[in-house]
Amino acid sequence: MFRLDGKKAAVTGSGSGIGKAVAHLFAKQGAEVHVIDLDEAAAKGTVEEIQQQNGNAVEQVCNVTNQSEVKEIFSKIGGVDILVNSAGVSHVGNVENTSEPDFDRLYNVNVKGVYNSIQAAIPFMKQKKKGVILNLASIANNVGLADRFAYSMSKGAVYAMTLSVARDYIHDGIRCNCISPARVHTPFVDGFIKKNYPGKEQEMFEKLSKSQPIGRMAKPEEIAHLVLYLCSDEASFITGCDYPIDGGFINLNN
């Protein structure tokens, strides 16, 4: 079950974190994985690790905010069967202290980047009359998170785009879903804590971990397994849905 043999998969932001875990799992399940990342060294590192495990992976250096770059990459790949939009950035702040440059940065990567990738992939999927798109949204779609104004805006847009694409292309054999993780322990989280809470790293890590009722952050691999299911043929009846993967955050945090 959940094999991806003979399928091409593009995973944005797969030089690290959740995207990297997805790329590894997809390759393990037989897919030809295109590792798309702005960081050339990170993309190369993911590809080398996959190849060392006898997986099939190709490095694609690309800025997802640049539409012409994205279209060129997908034309070069020759279309994909699966697109996972994992590239994203975060920001801490409410509406008053979120600067215009920070707002634009969140919009450009988290919203426009997803739009660019979907727009580039859809024509190839339409030709095949099949395809799967999986977007990384967030629990911020569903609940109010303190000091996450721009981030919540961007992930709410991802959720809305997911529904729209699912509706518009259902008769082209294209499925589109999203998942909404709570906190996931990635290098990004470690860097965020180190930058914003110097000297209190362990204390803040424990505090953030315990904000999930289950008592810890998710592992990237746990997120990747849900992504694999939704992108597999076993999930062929699922489209237009958002799946929280949150350690009980949405429903049990009251």
So which residues are the catalytic ones?
151
Q: Is the distance from CB of 2 to CB of 8 less than 8 angstroms?
A: no
Q: What distances in angstroms separate CA 114 from CA 14, 147, 166, 196, one per listed residue? A: 14, 23, 14, 27
Which among 121, 71, 154 is positioned nearest to 231, based on CA atoms? 121
Q: Is the distance from CB of 185 to CB of 217 less than 8 angstroms?
A: yes
Structure tokens at 91: 């920001």
Centre a 10 Å sphere on the Cβ of residue 123 and count the other Cβ atoms it contains.
Answer: 12
Q: Is the distance from CB of 154 to CB of 107 less than 8 angstroms?
A: yes
Q: Is the distance from CB of 228 to CB of 26 less than 8 angstroms?
A: yes
